[in-house]
């Protein structure tokens, strides 16, 4: 089997990544919902009158929600691939992935409330 190196490897990895994003949009309702929030909130963060660090925090936590949702979806897909019968470890894996998404969403809400609604800020601009 020929190994992909250099530019060819980068191109193939990019194609696999794009395919993963397409699969998430097509098959994962939660990812679509969070992507819609990102489409709304990232431009909002760009136009808000906040410091550069605050903007990075607002956009960063928004993107982090998408990343954690992708990882959760990957865990669920692997568990579902292994078998449809209930197993305690399979249930635990899915619950842990879901918990990671919940904690990330709570962090997202906290950062947006703290920086935008309460306006505390880093005072670094």
**Residues designated as active site:** 69
Hey, what are 47's tokens? 């136009």
CB 112 within 8 A of CB 80: no
């Amino acid at each position: 089997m020929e190994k992909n190196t250099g530019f060819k490897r980068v191109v193939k990895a990019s194609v696999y990544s794009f395919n993963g994003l397409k699969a998430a949009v097509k098959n994962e309702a939660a990812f679509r919902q969070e992507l819609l929030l990102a489409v709304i909130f990232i431009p909002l963060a760009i136009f808000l009158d906040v410091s550069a660090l605050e903007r990075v925090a607002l956009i960063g936590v928004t993107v982090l929600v998408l990343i954690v949702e992708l990882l959760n979806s990957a865990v669920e897909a692997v568990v579902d691939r292994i078998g449809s019968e209930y197993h305690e470890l399979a249930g635990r894996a899915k619950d842990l992935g879901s918990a990671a998404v919940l904690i990330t969403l709570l962090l997202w809400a906290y950062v947006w409330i703290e920086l935008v609604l309460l306006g505390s800020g880093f005072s670094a601009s």
